[in-house]
Structure 1
Amino acid sequence: MKKYFLPSLKLTLVTIILCSICYPLLIALIAKLAPGRGDGEKVMVNGKVVGYANVGQRFSDDKYFWGRPSAVDYNSAGSGGSNKGPSNADYLKTVADRIDSFLVHNPQVKKEEIPAELVTASGSGLDPHISPKSARVQIKRIAAIRKLNEDQLVTLVQQYTEKPLLGLLGPEKINVLKLNIALDNLK
């Protein structure tokens, strides 16, 4: 018994030091080298923080592009999905309500043209991005309310479309907060 106890105790202590001290310190050091220095990329307007580039926000005013719905009401302290499957009656009602609401605010859009991401929450509930298709489907509404030319908004969406990493990894996406800030700055 003594033969195995001391090596097991030493291995346990080494593992605790590696996993509880060294690894977290390494990750914290790497984070300090990233944009935002580990605190997230703050988005500033006129010297004030208006949000974070990596956390979704609610935009429900018709003059703005809407992002993905959130299962956690955009609370970044409680990130998570709804855990309801596609056959859950409550989930289906929630999605149907979101579709109905979208159609009320976008009467020129047909139900089948609505991208799924505009009526379903992301896994984290905090996704700050939408696809270019989700932005384009909202252009008519925003152009009418802001009395802008639709071509201006198409150009804006193209300017704020982020390409896949290295041209290969991930889809094209648009940060909704940054797009809406640029929208407010349009003349």
Structure 2
Amino acid sequence: MNLQLRPALVAFIALSAITGLAYPLGVTGLAQAAFPHQAGGSLIRRDGQVIGSEWIGQSFTAPRDFWGRPSATVDAQGRPLPYNGANSGGSNLAPSSPDLRKVVQDRIAALRAADPDAANPIPVDLVTASGSGLDPHISPASASYQAHRVAKARGLDEAKVRELIAAHTEGPQLGMLGEARVNVLKLNLALDEVPAK
């Protein structure tokens, strides 16, 4: 028995040290050296203060800000807590769910109430949550839909707001993966830099 136990124990300790300590430390060190911004969480700073991450959405509700995709994340007690990175997940409601239909109708009503002058169809990503509930991006169509409301609330020329949308529209990754998108936090920060008329 001891003849089998000793080599198994040595192999267990050696593999644990390699896969549980050496490999993670090596990969972390390599990532910090090659991609320090990304390895550090892709944090966005303003005046030296961390205000968010490029990869986790934030809840904007003021008329002067662009709004992101709805978030279905919850806190530890199951209460709604938008963009909760500790409890990432979607609503898991099926497209045929009456509950989802009601939530979407409520979101449409809120968007129409926030900008009664908007006549264009509301893009689907403004009324449906993403699978993670943390999506920091909206489609260019969703940003364009909100341009009138944001320009009016900020006292800006709508053409200037649309220029900022275009400047903050990111293309597909590597030119072919995914779709064009706009980072809501970055766009709102850029808007904060523009003086009102």
TM-score class, shorter: 0.7 to 0.9
Quick one: distance in 1 between partners of 2:8 and 2:51? 52
**RMSD between superposed Cα atoms in Å:** 2.5
Quick one: distance in 2 between partners of 1:11 and 1:21? 15
Structure 2: 5+ residue stretches without partners: 74-81
Relative to structure 1, is the Cα distance of residues 87 and 23 closer, same or farther in structure 2, using a 3 angstrom cutoff? farther
161, 165, 168: which one aligns with 1:157: 165
The alignment's TM-score, normalised by the length of structure 2, stands at: 0.81
Displacement of 1:6: 10
Quick one: distance in 2 between partners of 1:26 and 1:79? 28
Partner of 1:106: 115
3-state secondary structure, aligned to 1:113: coil
Aligned length: 186
Displacement of 1:91: 1.8
Partner of 2:150: 142
Displacement of 1:148: 1.1
74, 79, 91: which one aligns with 2:100: 91
Partner of 1:31: 31
The alignment's TM-score, normalised by the length of structure 1, stands at: 0.85
Displacement of 1:99: 1.1
Relative to structure 1, is the Cα distance of residues 12 and 115 closer, same or farther in structure 2, using a 3 angstrom cutoff? farther
- Give, as a single letter, the amino acid of the residue that structure 2 aligns with 1:177: L
- Give, as a single letter, the amino acid of the residue that structure 2 aligns with 1:60: T
Displacement of 1:25: 3.4
Partner of 2:76: none
Map 1:2-151 to 2 at 5 A.
Answer: 19-33=19-33, 34-36=35-37, 38-72=39-73, 73-110=82-119, 113-151=121-159
Which whole-Å deviations, capped at 9, do the CAs of 1:3-38 have from their partners, x for residues lacking one? xx9999898777656654455334423432424362
